[in-house]
Amino acid sequence: MKRKFLNFIFLIHIAAISAQKSEVQNLEPISNYFEEIKTATQQETSLWNQNLYGGILLVEPKTRQVYSNEPDSHNSLKENGNIYTGILPENINIANTSILWNDKNWAMIMLPLLENKYDRINLLAHELFHKAQPSLGFIQSNKESNHLDQKNGRVYLRLELAALTKSVLSSSKAEQKKHLTHALIFRKYRNSLYPESSTLENQLELNEGLAEYTGFIISRRDETQAKEHFLNTINRFLKNPTYVRSFAYSTTPVYGYLLSLQNQYWNQKIKTDTNLIDFFIQDFGVEIPVNLKTSVESIAPQYNGRNIVLEEKTREKKIKKQIAAYTNKLIEQPHLDIQFEKMNVSFDPRNILPIEDKGTVYPQIRVTDNWGILEVEKGALMEKNWKKISVSFPTKINEKMVEGDGWTLLLNKGYIIKKDEKSRHYKLIKNKD
């Protein structure tokens, strides 16, 4: 998919819809999209033993115009032929995600949709999986795999993906099995280098990985199309500035596709506590060597290992400078700390930057909360436990709007910005007056 945003939804009840005038576009393509995904999900009900089709919100980001295939219980969406239209409130972040809105679970997807039919169905089915996720028994979890922003983490992920690419493109089962085994060896070696990395990676793969695999299966690409899709997906992924929150879109679907060639419904054996990589190793009948270090040293040259290491050494030097700049701007220098109360956040997962135990920098992010709306274009530091976010010091403060370098904060009534004269930092607090 061209663009994918992750959204953390903290069950927010929306009482009213914006009064903004609705400008409804040509509804025929929208209606066709709904029929297209409805048919596709009906054809693959056996994948999870249920039809994933349900409430969908297609949203135009600039106008917040929304098109749905189903009504909402608050009558915010007005019937328009076989489609329901309206305007999404400002305090709802627009993203490709699942969301609770007006007491109903929806799959939300940003317009315009992808031109390629298979990619379009893939994306819609991915978000419909997230909508159905609770009923399927899977918990949504997207913790950062920060080790994948470190040199060795990236090296062995890139080697794993190189081996997976050769596996899926192989013309014989023996060759496919060889490269698949190498991919799993690179994975196991990476996990041995970073304690708890196996758990962190598995959480995202059970969430986004299974969702993307579901989208791939429901899209019904043939063998040639599947190979082209995985090749393009992995090549696009490798161009991302960071891998920590997006790698699962490129790993689980490939492992899953290869396993589906011998066990079509392997996914039905997966549970919320399954370690997917251990599951794949067992079901593929792969033997992992005891001495992983020796093994990776012997097989890495087959996958351009030397050049990958050199490229990652160069990147490491560049990233250290970026981290130093953000540390100065968002930690050492005066800055604004904002505590979360009932947060809803959307961001691009492809360019975030972990800063050791301090948290993660999100270059672009939008946050809505009881206190208002924060929009950031030049970096914000999310605390590791997701309880607060920090931006650079305010350069302009008034009753309703606060501004700084690359960020704006639209304040709701009852909240003010206060400076701590001792630390020189600022805080957002409730006004007691």
Distance CA 360, CA 376 (A): 14
Mean pLDDT score across all residues of the chain: 93
Distance CA 356, CA 196 (A): 15
Half-sphere exposure of 75 (CA within 13 A, CB side): 0
Read off φ and ψ for residue 75, nearest 5 degrees. 60, 30
Q: What DSSP line would sit under 342-374, residue for residue?
A: S-EEEE-TTS-EEETTTEEEESSEEEEETTEEE
- Is residue 141 scored above 80 in pLDDT? no
Distance CA 82, CA 70 (A): 9
Task: Show me where the domains of the chain are located.
Answer: 6-136, 146-303, 318-430
Any idea which residue has 């998919």 for tokens? Answer: 1
- Is residue 14 scored above 90 in pLDDT? no
- Is residue 425 scored above 50 in pLDDT? yes
pLDDT, position 432: 77
Q: What's the one-letter identity of residue 387? A: K
CA 9 to chain centre: 13
CA 262 to chain centre: 29
112 cis-preceded (ω within 30 degrees of 0): yes
Q: Buried (b) or exposed (e) across 303-323, using 16+ Cβ within 10 A?
A: bebeebbeebeeeeeebeeeb
pLDDT, position 345: 93
Using alpha carbons only, what angle is made at residue 344 by residues 8 and 89, rounded to the nearest 5 degrees?
Answer: 120
> Which two tokens mark 374?
């924060």
pLDDT, position 57: 98
- Is residue 2 scored above 90 in pLDDT? no
Q: Which residues contact 120 (CB under 8 A, 6 or more apart)?
A: 33, 36, 113, 114
Could you tell me the CA-to-CA distances from 235 to 17, 163, 224 in Å, in that order? 41, 13, 17
* 230-236 average pLDDT score: 98
Could you tell me the CA-to-CA distances from 261 to 162, 175, 205 in Å, in that order? 20, 15, 20
pLDDT, position 394: 97
Helix (H, G, I), strand (E, B) or coil at 275: coil
- Is residue 4 scored above 50 in pLDDT? no
pLDDT, position 24: 56
Whether pTM > 0.85 for this model: the answer is: yes
Q: What's the one-letter identity of residue 408? A: T
- Is residue 18 scored above 50 in pLDDT? no
Rg value, the chain, Cα = 23
